[in-house]
Amino acid sequence: MTALALASFEREAAFRAAVSRAGAEQRRIVGLWSPYPVELGDIGEEPAAPIPWIACLGGLGAAILFYAFIWWTATQAYPFDSGGRPLHSWQVFLIAPIELGALAAAVAGMIAFLIRARMTRLHHPAFDIAEVERASSDHFVIALSCDETEGGDVLALLTRAGAVHSRLVTR
Amino acid sequence: MSDAARWLLPSMHDHRAITDAIAGPLVEGQAGRRWWIALLASLLVAGVGAIATGISFAYGPGMWGNNSAVVWGFPIANYVWWIGIGNAGTLISALLLLTRQKWRNAINRFAEAMTILAVSIAGLFPIIHLGRPMYFYWMAPYPNTMDLWPQWRSALVWDFWAILSYLLFSLIFFYLGLIPDLATLRDRKGPRRWRRIWGAFALGWQGTPGQWRAHQRLQRTMAVIATPLVCSVHSIVGLDFAASLMPGWTESIFPPYFVVGAYFSGFAMVLLLALVIRHALGLEAMIRTAHLDACAKMLLAAGSVMLLAYGSEWLSALWTGEAADLRFLAFSFTGPYAGLTYGMILGNCLLPQLFWSPALRRSVPVLVIVALGVLVGMYFERILILCNTLSIGYEPAAWTLYVPTIVDFLILAGTAGLFVSAFLLLSRVIPLVPMYEMRELAEEARA
């Protein structure tokens, strides 16, 4: 039967050591939680999200569209001679698109972040794990999947790494 | 001592201590008597300001000191002053993040909150100043039966897009940083109703490596965008003046000069808020004297740049030999507003020079006096930019002095009351110091 070995750590170094050892022993890491960003190398990392590119494209796209809209309103829909200035006054038409482009980049980036981080799931099985609640506050938590028969070995590994609390949950 | 240890007392080198110190008062503590007194007093002042604004709406701009020459007056001075303060929060947060300054961690959250409140207040003034505020939405492009579109060459329309974009951008930047801390509040024992609200706004944050990585990438991306955005917003405010043809306004130095002025007044407000927050919330271990020292150095640098900018402006007027510019310069130093000019020089240029002394940079009374001096000096500068130029323009027949009315003063005081009351309310529902960033700093300090 499959079991879940859960362990929590008070120190970042111990947590990193546990993650590293679990990786070295080819244990299956099913969850990692920390109260601040921790560099874990390749383990536990997902491919880099193209958030900056999405934000950049969102911002550029919105700015170009808005500039086109301004050009259309000022030269086609409502041409207005203001003191003999050219209808297409590109220098001042750039101002609003630049501002709106920055906002659109932030919105596009935020949407990409929410999708990438799998956010807006207010109910998630991880929230049923008591240890995970501490992870938002002051503990680092690791969850390893293992066979129930080797649960003792896995817990011993985690304890050796410096876990302050560990337990086995059978599924 | 490591760099991280400089910014955090050893008693706070523990994650739990940090969480308890910051989240504790929010989830467990009751608001104290001082908080209630401050809230009621600020609400009272805000209420008086609201009545004064209502009077202005009912009887029109004739209730203000504005006249046919000085058409901008207090409403636009208030706008420029508040948006200056508002510009600094996001700029400070973004710049210090990009330059990896560890002292950012303790001050960025309330600096960003300050930005949102100050920009929201600033945005009210161009609307109030319209005279017919119910038509403010005409600045936005929307299909209408009159078949009209906004005049994109108008500085008012530039301001509309600058304020709107900057406010919403700052709100997203602020909220992004807040998400992990909202999850902390959600997961702590506390009032169920508030935990549900914090939980909803935490959007299911768990703190997995993938979430942290995405969070950091977006935060840095936004910081990269925020820096030029902030500069552009206050440059646009500078262009409101520089794009005109008035003596004292047609200055190519105005956009950068306005950006530095904004940074300067915003840092003074951040310093004041830091002093209040560390004392009121008992966060002396996190907002340390070293933080105050760093803020004071920033004020010293910005104050020196302001002195250079003023000097450059005055020298340019002398150099041109243009009669209108020379008259404007003489009027600034010898005219009826000369007292404000000297007050401005004292507050913005001379007082910050006290911070060459390390002892004075760490003295709370001196910090308070200088920060207040800068805020008052910057207000004088805003009002002088308007009144000096508009009172004594090219047309002698139109020369008129500006005298603000009691309604002008009450509206200004009301916005200060609104700012303080909103800040006090915010201090009860969100952590004003970012917990996860302080934990990261603690780990580094302990290493």
pLDDT tens digits along B362-398: 999 999 999 999 999 999 999 999 998 899 888 889 8
Interface contact B211-A119, CB threshold 8 A: yes
Report A:49-78 residues touching B (Cβ under 8 A): 49, 51-52, 55, 59, 69-70, 73-74, 77-78
Confirm or reject contact between A99 and chain B (CB < 8 A).
yes
- Residue A89's alpha-carbon distances to A67, B151, B154, B261, in angstroms, are 11, 11, 11, 29
Q: Where are the alpha helices (DSSP H) in chain A?
A: 12-24, 51-72, 90-93, 95-116, 130-135, 151-161
Report B:178-197 residues touching A (Cβ under 8 A): 180, 183-184, 186-188
% of chain B beyond a pLDDT of 70: 99
Give dist(CA B72, CA B32) in Å, integer: 42
- State which residue of chain B sits closest to A123, comparing Cα positions: B204
In a domain, A99, yes or no: yes
- What number is the average pLDDT over the span B71-76? 91
Looking at CA atoms only, how far is residue B221 from chain A in angstroms?
A: 6
Look up tokens 């955005």; give the residue: B229
Per-residue pLDDT tens over the stretch A72-112? 999 999 998 888 889 999 999 999 999 999 999 999 999 99
| Residue A61, pLDDT score | 98
Confidence of residue B304 (pLDDT cuts 50, 70, 90): very high
Determine contact, residues B205/A136, Cβ cutoff 8 Å: yes
Q: Which secondary structure element, helix H or strand E, spans residue B280, and what is its range?
A: helix B254-280
Would you give the distance in Å from CA B94 to the centre of its chain? 14
Q: Please tell me whether residue A170 adopts helix, strand or coil conformation.
A: strand
Chain A residues inside the 8 Å CB shell of B183? 136
| Residue A46, pLDDT score | 63
Provide CB contacts within 8 A for A34, sequence distance 6+: A12, A15, A135, A140, A141, B207, B209, B212
Confirm or reject contact between A46 and chain B (CB < 8 A).
yes
Determine contact, residues A136/B187, Cβ cutoff 8 Å: yes
Confirm or reject contact between B323 and chain A (CB < 8 A).
no
> Any idea where the domains of chain B sit in the sequence?
3-446
% of chain A beyond a pLDDT of 90: 46
Q: Please tell me whether residue A31 adopts helix, strand or coil conformation.
A: strand
Determine contact, residues B87/B262, Cβ cutoff 8 Å: yes
Which tokens go with B28? 């467990």
Confirm or reject contact between B15 and chain A (CB < 8 A).
yes
Average pLDDT value for chain B? 91
Look up tokens 């546990």; give the residue: A18
Interface contact A78-B169, CB threshold 8 A: no
Per-residue pLDDT tens over the stretch B207-238? 999 999 999 999 999 999 999 999 999 899 89
In a domain, A67, yes or no: yes
pLDDT greater than 90 at residue B51: yes
Angle at B297 between CA B420 and CA B343, to 5 degrees: 65
Chain A residues inside the 8 Å CB shell of B200? 122
Query: Do both A164 and A110 map to the same domain?
Result: no
Sheet holding A28-33, edge to edge: A28-33, A140-147, A2-9, A165-170
- What number is the average pLDDT over the span B420-424? 95
The CATH H-level (homologous superfamily) assignment of domain B3-446 is Formate dehydrogenase/DMSO reductase domain (1.20.1630.10)
Chain A residues inside the 8 Å CB shell of B145? none
Confirm or reject contact between B144 and chain A (CB < 8 A).
no
In a domain, A30, yes or no: yes
Looking at CA atoms only, how far is residue B25 from chain A in angstroms?
A: 15
In a domain, A159, yes or no: yes
Q: Pick from A81, A123, A138, A141 the residue to mutate for testing the B interface (most B CBs within 10 Å).
A: A138
The number of domains in chain A is: 2
pLDDT greater than 90 at residue B349: yes
Which tokens go with B148? 């009209």
Give dist(CA B417, CA B419) in Å, integer: 5
Full-model pTM: 0.93
Interface contact B213-A37, CB threshold 8 A: yes
Which residue type, as a one-letter code, is found at position B339?
A: G
Looking at CA atoms only, how far is residue A74 from chain B in angstroms?
A: 8
A96 closest CB neighbour out of B152, B203, B211: B152
Which tokens go with B436? 């996860």
Does residue B307 or residue A42 have the better pLDDT?
B307
- State which residue of chain A sits closest to B23, comparing Cα positions: A137
Per-residue pLDDT tens over the stretch B84-143? 999 888 888 898 899 888 888 889 999 999 999 999 999 999 999 988 889 989 889 998
Q: Please tell me whether residue B203 adopts helix, strand or coil conformation.
A: coil
Buried b (16+ CB within 10 A) or exposed e, A127-155: bebebbbbbbbbbbbbbbebeeeebeebb
| Strand pairing class (A28-33; A140-147) | antiparallel
pLDDT greater than 90 at residue B53: yes
Query: Do both A102 and A146 map to the same domain?
Result: no
CATH of the domain at A29: 3.30.70.1710
Confirm or reject contact between B315 and chain A (CB < 8 A).
no
Confirm or reject contact between B396 and chain A (CB < 8 A).
no
Determine contact, residues A116/A51, Cβ cutoff 8 Å: yes
pLDDT greater than 70 at residue A43: no
Determine contact, residues B184/A137, Cβ cutoff 8 Å: yes
Looking at CA atoms only, how far is residue B159 from chain A in angstroms?
A: 9
List the helix and strand counts (H, then E) for chain A. Answer: 6, 4
Which tokens go with A5? 């070995």
Confirm or reject contact between B231 and chain A (CB < 8 A).
no
Looking at CA atoms only, how far is residue A168 from chain B in angstroms?
A: 20
Query: Do both A24 and A66 map to the same domain?
Result: no
Determine contact, residues B18/B442, Cβ cutoff 8 Å: yes
Range of the domain at A161: 2-35+136-170
In a domain, A46, yes or no: no
Give dist(CA B282, CA A52) in Å, integer: 38
Confidence of residue A58 (pLDDT cuts 50, 70, 90): very high
| Residue B29, pLDDT score | 66
Give dist(CA A94, CA B77) in Å, integer: 26
Query: Do both A94 and A57 map to the same domain?
Result: yes
Per-residue pLDDT tens over the stretch B266-303? 999 999 999 999 888 888 888 999 999 999 999 999 99
Interface contact A117-B221, CB threshold 8 A: no
pLDDT greater than 80 at residue B259: yes
B221 closest CB neighbour out of A45, A103, A109: A109
Determine contact, residues A43/A30, Cβ cutoff 8 Å: no
B165 closest CB neighbour out of A100, A119, A120: A100
Per-residue pLDDT tens over the stretch B7-37? 888 877 788 889 988 988 887 767 788 999 9
Confidence of residue B250 (pLDDT cuts 50, 70, 90): confident
Determine contact, residues A66/A97, Cβ cutoff 8 Å: yes
In a domain, A40, yes or no: no
